[in-house]
Structure 1
């Protein structure tokens, strides 16, 4: 009896094992079939995605050809807004000839008789096979100069001293120079070891050199050519896309633009007969016509002029001062000091402007218009504006903030230097701005800690940056009373955070492309006399 029980248990075990093996086998077969179906689906989706991308590229070529033809037919200086809108709508409709490719558009800004800023957002939507998923590309048809479609553009060399972070496309005509050593000036020049930059976007480099690739690595003045892309990617710690594109330089002449405003000043001056020799107001004042002030005006009150305002010996305007003008403001150079603008300036129409003859210091200024200066411009602290500053001389920017919600566009014919902004702070300060120089543009992000939402342009560009926290060796407790000095190295009277190679450590100089520069150009931004296409975004939904 006991033997029979043992035989029964043995049979039961055999049946149980057989059942388990059977279930496992069926499951394995099911998984294999599912995997084969998934692989087949993936291969089909990949093929359809590739086809959709080809259709999208073809659609872009068709759009570009139509815009080129429209540029040949239309003079933007003479066309009406209604006619241009009609032509754009007809153009977009003519492209909708395929059921699986859909063009749509939305006007953002139309031209006026005084202003040829134009922006039309176009969406191209291509279905990926029959998946009900789509590749969607957004582009803008605009009169904004094509340099504004990049985060960083240089006609010459782009030099990274340390760990700047760029998000957006880069165009460097004469090469990119990469160094893991930052740079800052504190009496002497110091070069602390940091890390290589991070670039999140497409890169275009022109003008091949005899040394090989247009990328170089090392430390100024000793640079070594980078031999291949794989080596380049080890320096950048990522793999940005290399893209062949073109940019037209010298599309606008800053000196000519400023001189045109001076001509308007000379014409308006001849039509003004009211003259004042006042230098200071004991109370706020309202003047109901254009007026000329012969002496240097010190303004810490409210002044309203219903017409043009002429300041023949300059102005010193404090943070308590306020100007409200229904015309233009013309400021001549003081023989003994530069002009100072602070407080609030309000012009009734966005076509009105401020012309300044000579050097100017701008500090804590809120303004709703644009400025043209024939001299140097120094900008400090808060600049609230959605407009443009033109300077025929050199420009400096220190401790800048922009809290207005607008974008400050600063165009300098001379060198432009950005330094001492948000010094020794742990949290980054965001600035909405586009910075442009016909000469060299240099930005510091070592003691400074800033993020520029917009873009930059320079004949040559130098970006100096470290990562993490930075404090002065004397007075650091004012910024961080609990600072653990073992986590910092000391150089040039600064404490710099160690472990600069940590990819999670944020850069103290960040630049991110802002599409709004193209989609909604600020007041006074330079434009060109033809329509151009700028790619804004591409995604799959």
Structure 2
């Protein structure tokens, strides 16, 4: 019995010792964990504080440059040494940095292209002693402010259906968001159910915001408060609300076109290259082979045939119509003045900063333009229009089946209405174009049967975007529903916003590598291009 109790005491002692060991190990482990956690918290806190400090320093540097620009802008004229003033400003801001930041500038445009000035300024702030840096690049540019947004409306902004916008959006009027895509079949408009639109960026609305619905062909609209949380009810991807005190001065399109309309003072003395006559009918002068004319030239009407290749080493005046067909090619080292209409295919090459003025209508189809175009009436654009330039039109522009394969950015600027429809019809893969559409009147773009991705932006008064998501066809396909003679992919709500058949993606190149002929202003604005942390 005595041995038994002694054995039990021995077991108890072992258990007590094991318990003490476990507690000790746990205590050491918890202490180690606590120490490591505290180190992690301290490191994380230090990292956050370092980043906040770097952001404050970056904001300070940006504000100094912005303040400097506000002082420079009132002094600018057409003859101002703009680049010199920007350089002096950046040097002064660098000198006041106290070693906290550094700014390096790169001049990308020096005014040689019709008053386009652009300087990319890269700001660098050191985050910590390990070499981590905060880097931000901004563009200091004379390009108009409207080109810093994916979409601007000087009136109401109507979003019918599931359009997808990436970049900042501004509307001077009301914004109306509807979860139905609008389209036309025959002479009748239809509305097909889809999701609400998506904006991946910041939104400024000077008027009110309304969400819409349709019940038995009756529209109903509900006003929505201006905050991101409430906007989630009328956007498939809700933007961040940002109140900007921005105003946009419309481009004086008619005045710009009128400035280009005057013939050269000595135009009536240009050598006249006549016409062909058949049975007393006067026909246009036609070129089907290669020809070169030294100096200026004047025609009644001019046709460049499919195999024609005409070069004029001066200005060209056409006192009638101009036609370039098929693979025809016209090269002019001066300006071109056309008193009537122009029908343009093939290729037109102009010298740097030179242009073509067309007093009548311009019909463009599968055409390459190296230069600028000014149209006093309307322009109809079909198929390929390859250029890295700007077309101005007075009364209207209609765009169908547009492609821009040159790699440049096409800018269309109009006083009248712009309508973009029937582009890349019923295809599942979007057609990508680099373009900016600007209208002082209404701008209307369709992405229902069309499937279009615009890398650039839009401006109108008002703007209306109409879109569906996924597949669209004229005949039934698997998992589809019909409306107005078209068939649409089911589960519109479940499709990603990027599956929209109308996407507008802001393109930074409009600021730091602008197309030829893009409108400028006599002031310098600043736009953030890119920001990142690096070692």
For residues 23 and 469 of structure 2, the distance between their equivalents in structure 1, rounded to whole angstroms, comes to 58
1:500 aligns with 492
Q: CA, structure 1 residues 22+117, in 2 after alignment: closer, same or farther (shift >3 Å)?
A: same
- How far 1:19 moved relative to its partner? 5.0
Q: CA, structure 1 residues 103+283, in 2 after alignment: closer, same or farther (shift >3 Å)?
A: closer
Cα deviation, 1:82-118, whole Å, max 9, x if unaligned, reads x433332221111122212222211111013x62110
Please say if 1:205 is aligned against 2:205. Answer: yes
In structure 2, stretches of 5+ residues that fail to align are 277-283
1:533 aligns with 526
Choose 368-377 or 490-499, whichever is displaced more. 490-499
- How far 1:9 moved relative to its partner? 8.6
Please say if 1:249 is aligned against 2:248. Answer: yes
2:333 aligns with 326
- How far 1:54 moved relative to its partner? 2.8
For residues 504 and 41 of structure 2, the distance between their equivalents in structure 1, rounded to whole angstroms, comes to 41
1:293 aligns with 299
2:47 aligns with 45
Alignment of 1:92-171 (within 5 A): 92-96=90-94, 97-98=96-97, 99-112=99-112, 115-128=114-127, 130=129, 132-171=131-170
Q: CA, structure 1 residues 11+465, in 2 after alignment: closer, same or farther (shift >3 Å)?
A: farther
- How far 1:289 moved relative to its partner? 2.7
- How far 1:60 moved relative to its partner? 2.0
Cα-Cα RMSD: 2.5
SS in structure 1 opposite 2:441? strand
For residues 197 and 3 of structure 1, the distance between their equivalents in structure 2, rounded to whole angstroms, comes to 83
Cα deviation, 1:2-43, whole Å, max 9, x if unaligned, reads 999999899778766765564454333322322222223333
For residues 423 and 18 of structure 1, the distance between their equivalents in structure 2, rounded to whole angstroms, comes to 79
1:343 to 342, 346, 358: 346
1:211 aligns with none
For residues 33 and 253 of structure 2, the distance between their equivalents in structure 1, rounded to whole angstroms, comes to 68
1:490 to 454, 464, 482: 482
Q: CA, structure 1 residues 7+405, in 2 after alignment: closer, same or farther (shift >3 Å)?
A: farther
SS in structure 1 opposite 2:90? helix
For residues 162 and 377 of structure 1, the distance between their equivalents in structure 2, rounded to whole angstroms, comes to 28
Contact 2:288/2:304 (<8 A) preserved = no
For residues 192 and 29 of structure 2, the distance between their equivalents in structure 1, rounded to whole angstroms, comes to 60
For residues 268 and 43 of structure 1, the distance between their equivalents in structure 2, rounded to whole angstroms, comes to 75
Choose 365-374 or 487-496, whichever is displaced more. 487-496
1:261 aligns with 260
SS in structure 1 opposite 2:30? helix
For residues 199 and 530 of structure 1, the distance between their equivalents in structure 2, rounded to whole angstroms, comes to 29
Contact 2:76/2:522 (<8 A) preserved = no
Alignment of 1:378-393 (within 5 A): 378-393=380-395
1:62 aligns with 64
Cα deviation, 1:447-490, whole Å, max 9, x if unaligned, reads 111111111100111111111111111xx7xxxxxx5x2x1111
1:305 aligns with 312
- How far 1:326 moved relative to its partner? 1.2
SS in structure 2 opposite 1:270? helix
1:277 aligns with 275
Alignment of 1:179-194 (within 5 A): 179-187=178-186, 188-194=188-194
1:315 aligns with 322
SS in structure 2 opposite 1:524? coil
For residues 361 and 464 of structure 2, the distance between their equivalents in structure 1, rounded to whole angstroms, comes to 25
- How far 1:512 moved relative to its partner? 0.8
Contact 1:296/1:312 (<8 A) preserved = no
Cα deviation, 1:199-221, whole Å, max 9, x if unaligned, reads 111111224xxxxxx21100485
1:410 to 409, 412, 427: 412
2:281 aligns with none
1:91 aligns with 89
For residues 396 and 366 of structure 1, the distance between their equivalents in structure 2, rounded to whole angstroms, comes to 18
- How far 1:120 moved relative to its partner? 0.2
For residues 92 and 174 of structure 1, the distance between their equivalents in structure 2, rounded to whole angstroms, comes to 37
Bigger proportion of residues as strand: 2
2:209 aligns with 215
In structure 1, stretches of 5+ residues that fail to align are 208-213, 477-482
2:398 to 390, 396, 399: 396
Contact 2:272/2:298 (<8 A) preserved = yes
- How far 1:143 moved relative to its partner? 0.8
Contact 1:146/1:248 (<8 A) preserved = no
- How far 1:233 moved relative to its partner? 2.4
Contact 1:251/1:528 (<8 A) preserved = no
Contact 2:83/2:117 (<8 A) preserved = no
For residues 46 and 227 of structure 1, the distance between their equivalents in structure 2, rounded to whole angstroms, comes to 33
